[in-house]
Amino acid sequence: MKSFKAIRLGLFFLTVTIVGFSTAAIGQTFKFVALGDMPYSLPQDLRRFENLITEINRLKPSFSIFIGDTKSGSSPCSDEHNQIIKSYFSSFKTPLVYSPGDNEWTDCHRILAGAYDPLERLEALRTVFFSTNQSLGKNPIRLQRQADLDPRYSKYVENAYWIKNNFLFVSIHIPGSNNNNEGTESAIKEYQDRNQANLAWIDQAFNLATQRNLNGIIFAYQADMFYKPSQLTSSDSGYRDTLESLISKSEIFNKPVLLIHGDTHRLKIDQPLHRKNQKKVLENVLRLQVMGADQVQAVEVQVNPAQEQPFSFRPIILKENN
């Protein structure tokens, strides 16, 4: 039998090994893939989507983020389509995290989309894609969900975070179509409730990153909140509260923040926010808008903790998908 001293010594070396491994991981460069707004044109885009998934699997990213719109706004919001998409998501070899878009639920009242009740379609999405605290993909990771952490927001199972090498990744449910802040009373009520949950989730993200001294934050969501200036200023905007929160908290945080979204379907990388006085660009915030719709392509993002600006981008352009 080993002596108590020997056991303590063994535990000491085990602790050193674990701490050393964690410290090394914090400083390691890693890559992930961002994509969304696909497949739109059915059935032909299914093959293009398969091509893209095959390429992503070949690249072996740490994980992928799908920023919503699993279909066009004029195709049926059916249970069958949700199952098809879930099957595709399950074919990603590394973890995939999904944040819903407007075409999956807010726009489902349209005749061409099947004249569904959008709120019923939202609940269907939550049931199909967010039934557990695990990501999608063949090798899922555990997510920290707002619904599990704060009983006030128990319905928002789609809002989640995870940490990779000292960077905080946050999925947050902000869809197009003005964030559902339009139309019927029930739609506007849904927006108001979810907006409060989202603002609380943004607060929690910045607080967590500050408390743990994380290197940066990546927010992933669907809507293009920068489509026109009035989205920051109009009282009718479903994005004004979110933008005001991101501006004020990013300015205080003063570390790298990356906003990843789709919605307008063209690759764009820029600095979309200004400081509260609106005179200077908020330099620590970058925006990546991914391709989509007729461009069934993606973007590989490299994160290098050693760099002051840690994010770099490589478009994944498949010729066979042109």
Residue 298 to residue 87: CA distance in whole angstroms: 19
Backbone angles phi, psi at 206, to 5 degrees: -70, -40
Mean pLDDT over 36-62 rounds to: 97
What pTM does this model have?
0.91
pLDDT reported for residue 21: 38
pLDDT digits (tens, 9 = 90+) for 215-228: 999 999 999 999 88
Contacts of 305 (CB under 8 A, 6+ apart): 26, 27, 28, 29, 165, 166, 167, 215
Contact between 60 and 33 (Cβ < 8 Å): no
Residue 150 to residue 202: CA distance in whole angstroms: 13
pLDDT reported for residue 275: 87
The mean pLDDT value of the chain amounts to 92
In the chain, where does DSSP find H-type helix? 4-26, 44-59, 79-90, 118-129, 146-149, 185-211, 230-233, 240-253
11 band by pLDDT with thresholds 50, 70 and 90:
very low
Residue 15, pLDDT > 90, answer: no
State the fold for domain 31-321.
Answer: Purple Acid Phosphatase; chain A, domain 2 (3.60.21)
59 band by pLDDT with thresholds 50, 70 and 90:
very high
279 band by pLDDT with thresholds 50, 70 and 90:
confident
Domain parsing of the chain, residue ranges: 31-321
Distances (CA, A) of 243 to 231, 262, 274: 8, 16, 10
pLDDT digits (tens, 9 = 90+) for 85-120: 999 999 999 999 999 999 999 999 999 999 999 999
